[in-house]
């Protein structure tokens, strides 16, 4: 009993210090590695700060938690006045263009997540180029170049996208872009580079849908992830066959 009281006292003291001393997190949207979650900080007309976290884990399991922010502590649940019976306290440690997010009352915070999802981690501010809108713009530009048969320019733009924005792209989007890049390289006559680009995709390690579904090697995907990825996988196999055939013909 004494141990639990000491633990609670330490947590309470840590939270009080954090609320009082931590630098204020600037309003805006922060993105977790691999586009696996977002943290949005807002200020209302009374200068009160609120947070909202959305994240996704394996098999499309998600987290969704929101509440008020005091200092470096976010609070959702009964302590935030939202009618919930328990309180989820979250530490927000602000750094340079990044926020480290850690649930302090882990059991209570689990109630906001599916079984295979969590929201802890480092959330960063993407550049304008690497926001979801910025990435769509770059892909649209590369598509226009591709349709104009300016394949080398399209490939260059897609390479830049993967190099600059990889931390803010999820694994499915990365493989979609790799397929776009591989096609541009194929039409540029760079068949070996096409295969090298596709070798980085998840689907490159299996030959067909049956092997992907069976989880050959390290490719096992839960059902929802499989459904989201299968069209990308089929594109990978088709493009890989194109480039392999071109090399075998000595084109």
The Cα–Cα gap between 156 and 226 comes to: 30
Which residue(s) pair with 37 in the sheet? 55
Question: Is the CB of residue 184 less than 8 Å from the CB of residue 214?
Answer: no
The residues spanned by each domain of the chain are 8-124, 128-248
> Cα 117 from chain centroid?
12
Structure confidence at residue 85 as a pLDDT band (50, 70, 90): low
Q: Which fold has domain 8-124?
A: Lipocalin (2.40.128)
Share of the chain above pLDDT 70, in %: 87
Indicate left, alpha or beta for 86 from its phi (over 0: left) and psi (-120 to 50: alpha): beta
Positive or negative: CA dihedral 183, 189, 193, 199: positive
Pairing relation of β-strands 62-70 and 37-43? unpaired
CB-side neighbour CA atoms (13 Å) of 191: 13
- For range 228-240, the mean pLDDT: 98
pLDDT in tens, 168-211: 999 999 999 999 999 999 999 999 999 999 999 999 999 999 99
What average pLDDT does range 112-129 have in this prediction?
A: 96
Q: Which residue has the tokens 């007309």?
A: 45
- CA 44-48-51 angle, to 5 degrees, is 85
CA distance 236 to 195: 10
CATH code linked to domain 128-248: 1.25.40
Indicate the pLDDT class of residue 250, thresholds 50, 70 and 90: confident
Asked whether residue 29 carries a pLDDT value surpassing 90, the answer given is yes
Give every CB contact of residue 5 below 8 A, 6+ residues apart in sequence: none
Per the CB < 8 A criterion, the answer to whether 21 and 36 are in contact is no
């Amino acid at each position: 009993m004494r141990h639990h009281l000491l633990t609670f006292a330490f947590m309470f003291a840590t939270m009080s210090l954090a609320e009082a001393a931590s630098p204020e997190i600037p309003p805006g949207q922060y993105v977790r590695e691999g586009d696996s979650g977002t943290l949005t900080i807002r200020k209302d007309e009374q200068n009160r700060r609120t947070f909202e976290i959305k994240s996704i884990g394996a098999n499309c399991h998600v987290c969704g938690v929101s509440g008020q922010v005091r200092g470096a502590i976010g609070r959702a649940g009964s302590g935030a006045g939202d009618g919930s019976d328990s309180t989820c306290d979250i530490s927000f440690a602000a750094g340079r263009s990044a926020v480290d997010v850690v649930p302090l009352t882990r059991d209570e915070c689990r109630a906001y997540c599916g079984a295979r999802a969590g929201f802890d981690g480092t959330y960063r501010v993407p550049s304008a180029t690497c926001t979801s809108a910025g990435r769509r713009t770059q892909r649209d530009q590369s598509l226009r170049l591709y349709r104009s048969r300016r394949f080398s320019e399209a490939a260059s733009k897609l390479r830049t996208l993967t190099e600059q924005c990889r931390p803010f792209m999820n694994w499915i989007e990365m493989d979609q872009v790799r397929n776009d890049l591989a096609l541009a390289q194929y039409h540029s006559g760079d068949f070996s580079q096409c295969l090298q680009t596709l070798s980085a995709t998840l689907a490159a390690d299996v030959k067909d849908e049956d092997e992907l579904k069976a989880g050959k090697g390290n490719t096992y995907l839960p059902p929802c992830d499989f459904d989201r990825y299968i069209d990308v996988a089929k594109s990978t196999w088709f493009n890989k066959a194109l480039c392999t055939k071109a090399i075998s013909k000595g084109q």
